[in-house]
Structure 1
Amino acid sequence: MVMIKHVEDWKPLLKSVIDSKAEEFQLMGYSRATPEIVWQCLKEKVWKGNPEKRLFQIVEDILHLSSNIFMSYLTVQSYQNDDLMASIAALSEGSNENY
């Protein structure tokens, strides 16, 4: 019997595969590559949410995650974080003027 589960439900069984992928990216020079960031990248770029898949499909997706997709994800995250920090700074400056 082949089991199909939501991607998130398989995560506990995938620790070593995700760790391996993060280490691979670190060896390629992506020092920010952690297992959690790799997982988030897969959820947002490859799976687009929490679809139902078989275990072998998820392992295949993890192992085939390209550095191009990962770098694209990191770049978008960096821009979003920069925008958030700029917004926080602008709000902080504005609130200081009121006092």
Structure 2
Amino acid sequence: MAMIKTVDNWRALLSIVIESKVEELKLMGYTDTTADIVWRCLKQKVWKGNPEKRLYQVVEDILHLNTHIYMSFLTIESYQQQDDLMASIQALTEHEN
């Protein structure tokens, strides 16, 4: 019977699979892609947290991560970073007044 673990518990065994996806995304033009970004994308967009899965299911999810999902993730992250930056700027300017 196949072992079931949370996706985070499988991550240490999956570095070569994740790096394969990173290289694929880089070839498609996402040159700033890293293993951590891909993992965050999977956790937020595909798994929606840290669910329990079998190893083959996690590998399949990584290899089947498509560029539309990845691009959507990057876009949302970009907006959140801009919002964080604007909030920081606003807090600094309010503090100066």
Normalising by the residue count of structure 2, what TM-score does the alignment of the two structures yield?
A: 0.97
Counterpart in the other structure of 2:36:
36
Counterpart in the other structure of 2:15:
15
Corresponding residue SS for 2:88: helix
Alignment of 1:56 with 2:56, yes or no, is yes
Distance 1:96 1:30 in 2: 39
- Aligned residue pairs total 97
Give the partner amino acid of 2:60.
E
Moved over 4 A (4+): none
How far is the alpha carbon of 1:88 from its aligned partner?
0.3
Give the partner amino acid of 2:17.
V
Counterpart in the other structure of 1:2:
2
How far is the alpha carbon of 1:32 from its aligned partner?
2.1
Corresponding residue SS for 1:53: strand
Please list, as runs of the form range in 1=range in 2, the aligned pairs for 1:81-96 lying within 5 A after superposition. Answer: 81-96=81-96
Distance 1:33 1:81 in 2: 16
Deviations 1:75-94 (A, max 9, x none): 00000000000000011011
Distance 1:79 1:19 in 2: 26
- What runs of 5+ residues in structure 1 fail to find an aligned partner? none
Larger Rg: 1
Corresponding residue SS for 1:33: coil
Provide the identity percentage: 55
How far is the alpha carbon of 1:96 from its aligned partner?
1.1
| RMSD after superposition | 0.6
Give the partner amino acid of 1:70.
Y
- What runs of 5+ residues in structure 2 fail to find an aligned partner? none
